[in-house]
């Protein structure tokens, strides 16, 4: 028997508050939903989902075999083809029936119970698992439904504690009816179910089709375009026409200049990726709504084919993070993520989209939604920030210079020994890397900033994806101060605010030493004070009120 996160469950025959255990056909708990504390079963309509999925799998496996049978390449013609077709159909039927039978056996052995203090889940066919979560530790009840589940009115419910304990920190009920999923969410999060859950005026943001213009500017565009080219080659190989496809492509570009061929190929990949990015954006954000429900819960609902419903309780919200990828930033867009406790994902699934409160939208809209989420009259993410010393810019320029010149020098040095072709390659690399690296270094410096806006600490950094976090100062539980040898010589430090929410740590990179220490001490008064000392007057020569703080070593 495998024990869950708490390792303690009530015996199956022990009476529980709100109702006694009812006996099912197999002698176990009954399937019908009843009073609180009664054992319940998953929805048996999942058998239809399993049958449909495995039928699709069987069809995908059988298609190449059918093509081979039709051509006579594998079994020849005549009776042998009929025998092959019979074996193929039999194997497909056995796959579907066997999968449905295994799912039915699993359903018979799976039951769950919502007690006054705990949520219990018993499952397993050969390896019995009894899992239990304390209700006061539950931080999230999220609902998802792919198209087959939606067609049958079912949802998958994930109940989590928000801890990073793998699968032991969450329970998954897959599937239950849509009504049961809504009831579980309302009951476990302590809020009323039904139409009263979304009062008039509770909507903070809703879907706007104009936001789709930001989709092609993401990093996914080039990735999808490259993947499409690879998929085309793979599919052509399946049908034995890969060499012909490569030959025809070579004939098209052989007599054309390279300066024309490369841009055309890149443009084609980008256009393909842009179409894919548009489709992916629609699937993820169609029907998006951000609502504030009674009891202080932010609920995000979205999805075209697979619907998702993610809830964030405001008492565990510690701030927001404004994210601006470089392509999106170039046209004035940003997205908003939640910084909250209890959003750690289980089962190795990072679920980065669980933190997403808002897709990429115009920056002004993102700031406005951030203010609404935090119940602030003005958006903290739009407050002015303190710029960092020029020494921080010099560090980034030196990194860019090293990244451009060191590889070029290595290639140029290897050229006389290996092949002269490396000499023009080194020159071309340096000509491209030097201006690009310099531009990125300057952008990285401009992205640096920190400040205090009322109850929030602000920290901004990043070039590929610039992030501005507005973190509640009361949520900071510690500071980590680091300085490398190069930073110490330049008079710079990196301050990292430790918190129980979001990523767990947020850094202020390359701040001036005295200014950074004063900022950390002002952000959370008293937390850093025991580790600070003043420079003696004889040594510093400044008045006591003007002496910069230094860290005690």
3 state DSSP class of 206: strand
Query: Smallest Cα–Cα separation from 269: which of 232, 226, 235?
Result: 226
pLDDT for 231 equals 78
Tell me the domain boundaries of the chain.
Answer: 46-107, 213-284, 389-447, 449-553
Q: Residue count of the chain, please give it.
A: 553
Q: What is the Cα–Cα distance from 119 to 111, expressed in whole angstroms?
A: 11
Q: What is the Cα–Cα distance from 353 to 205, expressed in whole angstroms?
A: 17
Query: Smallest Cα–Cα separation from 358: which of 541, 143, 208?
Result: 208
Q: What is the Cα–Cα distance from 258 to 250, expressed in whole angstroms?
A: 12
Q: What is the Cα–Cα distance from 533 to 553, expressed in whole angstroms?
A: 9
Q: What is the Cα–Cα distance from 131 to 10, expressed in whole angstroms?
A: 10
Which pTM was predicted?
0.78
Q: What is the Cα–Cα distance from 122 to 4, expressed in whole angstroms?
A: 10
Q: Kindly report whether the peptide bond that precedes residue 142 is cis, defined as omega within 30 degrees of 0.
A: no
Contact between 272 and 230 under an 8 Å Cβ cutoff? The reply is no
Query: Smallest Cα–Cα separation from 447: which of 455, 456, 457, 439?
Result: 439
Contact between 506 and 495 under an 8 Å Cβ cutoff? The reply is no
Alpha carbon separation from 252 to 77, 122, 249, 267 (Å, rounded): 40, 62, 5, 16
3 state DSSP class of 324: strand
pLDDT for 349 equals 42
Q: What is the Cα–Cα distance from 502 to 499, expressed in whole angstroms?
A: 8
Tell me the Ramachandran region of residue 208: left when phi exceeds 0, alpha when psi lies from -120 to 50, beta otherwise: beta
pLDDT for 186 equals 85
Contact between 499 and 340 under an 8 Å Cβ cutoff? The reply is no
Q: What is the Cα–Cα distance from 499 to 503, expressed in whole angstroms?
A: 8
Contact between 346 and 169 under an 8 Å Cβ cutoff? The reply is yes
Per-residue pLDDT of the chain (553 residues; tens, 9 = 90+): 334 443 333 333 333 333 333 333 333 333 344 455 789 999 999 999 999 988 888 877 776 666 555 555 445 555 666 676 777 778 888 889 999 999 999 999 999 999 988 999 998 878 888 889 998 888 888 899 999 999 999 999 998 886 655 556 788 999 999 999 999 988 888 654 444 444 444 899 999 999 999 999 888 888 888 888 777 777 776 666 667 777 777 777 777 776 777 788 888 888 988 999 999 999 999 999 999 988 788 999 999 999 999 888 888 899 999 999 999 999 999 999 999 987 754 333 444 567 899 999 999 999 999 999 999 999 999 999 999 999 999 999 999 999 999 999 999 999 888 888 889 899 999 999 999 999 999 999 999 999 999 999 999 999 999 999 999 999 999 999 999 999 999 999 999 999 988 889 999 999 999 999 999 999 999 888 777 765 444 344 444 445 556 665 5
Q: Could you give the angle at which helices 220-238 and 242-254 cross, rounded to 10 degrees?
A: 120
Burial 489-500, CB ≥16 within 10 A → b, else e: ebebbbbbbebe
Residue whose token pair is 């890397």? 433
Q: Is the dihedral of CA 548, 551, 552, 553 positive or negative?
A: negative
Q: Could you give the angle at which helices 79-108 and 46-71 cross, rounded to 10 degrees?
A: 170
Residue whose token pair is 């929030």? 456
Q: What is the rounded radius of gyration, in angstroms, for the C-alpha atoms of the chain?
A: 30
Contact between 272 and 223 under an 8 Å Cβ cutoff? The reply is no
pLDDT for 161 equals 80
């Amino acid at each position: 028997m495998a024990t869950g996160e708490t390792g303690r469950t009530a015996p199956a025959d022990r009476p529980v508050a709100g109702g006694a255990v009812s006996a099912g056909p197999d002698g176990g708990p009954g399937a019908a939903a009843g009073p609180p504390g009664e054992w319940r079963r998953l929805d048996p309509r999942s058998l239809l989902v399993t049958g449909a999925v495995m039928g699709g799998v069987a069809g995908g496996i059988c298609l190449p075999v059918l093509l081979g049978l039709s051509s006579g390449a594998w079994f020849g013609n005549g009776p042998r083809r009929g025998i092959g077709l019979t074996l193929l159909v039999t194997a497909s039927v056995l796959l579907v029936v066997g999968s449905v039978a295994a799912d039915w056996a699993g359903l018979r052995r799976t039951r769950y119970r919502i007690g006054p203090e705990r949520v219990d889940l018993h499952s397993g066919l050969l390896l019995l698992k009894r899992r239990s979560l304390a209700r006061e530790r539950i931080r999230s009840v999220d609902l998802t439904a792919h198209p087959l589940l939606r067609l049958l009115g079912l949802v998958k419910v994930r109940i989590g504690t928000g801890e990073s304990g793998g699968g032991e920190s969450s329970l998954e009920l897959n599937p239950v009816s849509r009504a049961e999923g809504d009831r579980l969410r309302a009951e476990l999060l302590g809020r009323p179910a039904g139409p009263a859950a979304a009062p008039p005026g509770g909507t903070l943001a809703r879907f706007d089709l104009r936001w789709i213009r930001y989709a092609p500017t993401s990093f996914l565009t080039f990735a999808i375009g490259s993947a499409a080219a690879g998929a085309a080659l793979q599919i052509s190989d399946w049908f034995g026409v890969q060499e012909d496809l490569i030959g025809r492509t070579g004939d098209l570009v052989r007599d054309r200049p390279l300066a024309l061929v490369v841009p055309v190929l890149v443009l084609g990949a980008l256009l393909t990726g842009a179409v894919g990015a548009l489709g992916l954006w629609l699937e993820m954000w169609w029907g998006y709504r951000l609502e504030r429900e009674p009891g202080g819960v932010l609920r995000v609902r979205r999805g075209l084919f697979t619907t998702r419903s993610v809830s964030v309780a405001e008492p565990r919200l510690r701030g927001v993070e404004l994210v601006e990828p470089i392509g999106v930033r170039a046209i004035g867009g940003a997205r908003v993520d939640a910084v909250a406790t209890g959003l750690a994902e289980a089962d190795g699934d990072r679920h980065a989209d669980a933190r997403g409160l808002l897709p990429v939208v115009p920056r002004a809209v993102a700031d406005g939604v951030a203010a609404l989420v935090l119940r602030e009259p003005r958006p903290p993410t739009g407050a002015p920030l303190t710029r960092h010393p020029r020494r921080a810019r010099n560090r980034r320029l030196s990194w860019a210079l090293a990244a451009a010149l060191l590889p070029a020098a290595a290639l140029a040095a290897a050229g006389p020994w290996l092949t002269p072709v490396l000499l023009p390659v080194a020159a071309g690399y340096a000509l491209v890397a030097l201006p690009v690296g310099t531009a990125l270094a300057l952008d990285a410096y401009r992205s640096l900033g920190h400040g205090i806006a009322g109850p929030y600490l602000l920290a901004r950094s990043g070039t590929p994806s610039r992030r501005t976090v507005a973190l509640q100062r009361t949520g900071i539980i510690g500071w980590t101060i680091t300085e490398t040898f190069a930073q110490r010589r330049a008079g710079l430090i990196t301050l990292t605010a430790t918190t129980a929410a979001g990523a767990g740590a947020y850094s202020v990179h390359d701040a001036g030493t005295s200014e950074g220490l004063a900022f950390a001490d002002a952000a959370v008064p008293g937390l850093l004070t025991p580790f600070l000392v003043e420079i003696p007057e004889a040594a510093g020569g400044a008045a006591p009120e003007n002496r910069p703080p230094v860290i005690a070593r």
